[in-house]
Amino acid sequence: MVSLRNLAIGAILAVAGMAQNVAPGRVTGDTFTHDPTVVKKPDGSYIMAFTADNVGLKTSTDRTNWRDVGAAFPNGAPWTTPYTGGILNLWAPDISYHNNQYYLYYSASSFGSRRSAIFLATSPTGAPGSWTNQGVVVETFESDSYNAIDPNLIVDAEGDWWLSFGSFWGGIKMIAVDSSTGKRSGNQLISLAARPSVPDGPVEAPYITRHGDYYYLWVSFDKCCQGADSTYRIMVGRSTSVTGPYVDKCGKQMMQGGGTKVMSSHGSINGPGHNAVFTDNDGDVLVYHYYRDDGVAQMGINLIRYTNGWPVIY
Q: Over 52-77, what HEC string results?
A: EECCEEEEECCCCEEEEEEECCCCCC
pTM above threshold 0.75: yes
Question: One of 94, 150, 204, 248 is an active-site residue; which one?
Answer: 204
pLDDT at 237 over 70: yes
- CA–CA separation, 53 and 34 (whole Å): 12
DSSP structure class, residue 304: E
The arrangement of strands across the sheet holding 46-50 comes to 28-29, 65-71, 56-60, 46-50, 37-40
Q: What's the rounded Cα separation, in Å, for the pair 92 and 80?
A: 14
What residues form DSSP beta bridges with 104? 95, 121
What's the mean pLDDT in 101-126? Answer: 97
Q: What are phi and psi of 111, to 5 degrees?
A: -60, 130
Note whether residue 127 is domain-resident.
Answer: yes
Residue 53 Cα distances to 3, 80, 247, angstroms: 43, 12, 36
- pLDDT value for 87: 86
Q: ω before 78 within 30° of 0 (cis)? A: no
CB 217, CB 192: distance < 8 Å: yes
173-225 pLDDT, tens digit each: 999 999 999 999 999 999 999 999 999 999 999 999 999 999 999 999 999 99
Counting the structural domains of the chain, the total is 1
User: From edge to edge, which strands make up the β-sheet containing 233-239?
Assistant: 203-211, 214-221, 233-239, 260-263
204 catalytically annotated = yes
Q: Is pLDDT at 275 greater than 90 in this prediction?
A: yes
Lowest mean pLDDT among 6-10, 24-28, 45-49, 64-68: 6-10
Q: Is 68 within a domain?
A: yes
Q: Tell me, yes or no, whether 135 lies in a domain.
A: yes
- Give a yes or no: residue 2 inside a domain: no
Q: Which of 35, 94, 222, 248 is catalytic?
A: 35
Bridge partner residues of 304 (DSSP): 284, 313
Whether residue 125 lies inside any domain: the answer is yes
Print the domain residue range for 50.
Answer: 21-313
pLDDT in tens, 31-63: 999 999 999 999 999 999 999 999 999 999 999
306 found inside a domain: yes
**For residue 206, which amino acid is it?**
P
Asked if residues 224 and 289 have their Cβ atoms less than 8 Å apart, the reply is no
Of the candidates 147, 243, 135, the residue with the CA atom closest to the CA atom of residue 181 = 135
Which residues, at least 6 apart from 84, have a Cβ–Cβ distance to it below 8 Å? Answer: 90, 108, 109, 110
d(CA 271, CA 265): 5
Mean pLDDT over the full length of the chain: 94
Do the domain assignments include residue 308?
Answer: yes
Question: Domain holding 207: CATH number?
Answer: 2.115.10.20
Is 224 inside any structural domain?
A: yes
